[in-house]
Amino acid sequence: MKTVTLHSGEVIPAFGQGTWKMGERRDGRAAEVAALRRGLDLGATLIDTAEMYAEGGAEEVVAEAVKGRRDGIFIVSKVYPHNASATGAVDACERSLKRLGTDRIDLYLLHWRGTVPLAETVSAFEKLRAAGKIRQWGVSNFDSADMTELAAVVGGGNCASNQVLYHLGERGIEWRLLGEEQRAGRPLMAYTPIGGKSVLASAAVASIARKHAIGPAAVALAWLLKIGRAHV
């Protein structure tokens, strides 16, 4: 499987599993856990989740899926902007750790910009990292101006990744952000990588899918992994 190297030197899978919408229904829990475990068996050992997803329910699904094999998994979770204060981020992280059934989160992201000053959030993240609660931290939904502002904050250079919307039908980051992040040696993580109906129903995508005897979703993912050069 293709890999991505973080600025820390750690090598992780370029293809991961998302958990948005998981944990919302108790009767779907077994199928969700089974799906994640199947992905892990196939080598997709990065799992992305957030405290926002089902208000912690998705993190509980992840906990069940990785039970007994935690050391081989790279877990990404995210903190709400309103929880990203000096004390709020620490408390939110502790709650996520409890739901995930683990003693550390491998990559902890600020889900999007809020009203808490970046300096305060970064300070909290660095405190969590020093305590071993998180191994690395990053951001999500930050544009070029946001990343410039982050870089000026003490400790801001320790940002490991930026998770952004990116797929065949949404390529705005290519104007500026993608190149800047690549030059900084900081991998982007693409969310909603398959796109929506407009991508899956595209005549061009359908043509490529038929040529290679694969589904449209596989074409969209392959484009990201081989052409978009972003972490999925």
d(CA 111, CA 120): 15
Quick one: CA torsion of 165, 150, 181, 124, rounded to 10 degrees?
-80
Q: d(Cα 131, Cα 113) in Å, to the nearest integer?
A: 24
**Quick check: 15 and 37 in contact, CB under 8 A?**
no
> How far apart, in whole angstroms, are the C-alpha atoms of residue 187 and residue 161?
5
DSSP result, 203-220: HHHHHHHHHHT--HHHHH
Residues labelled catalytic: 53
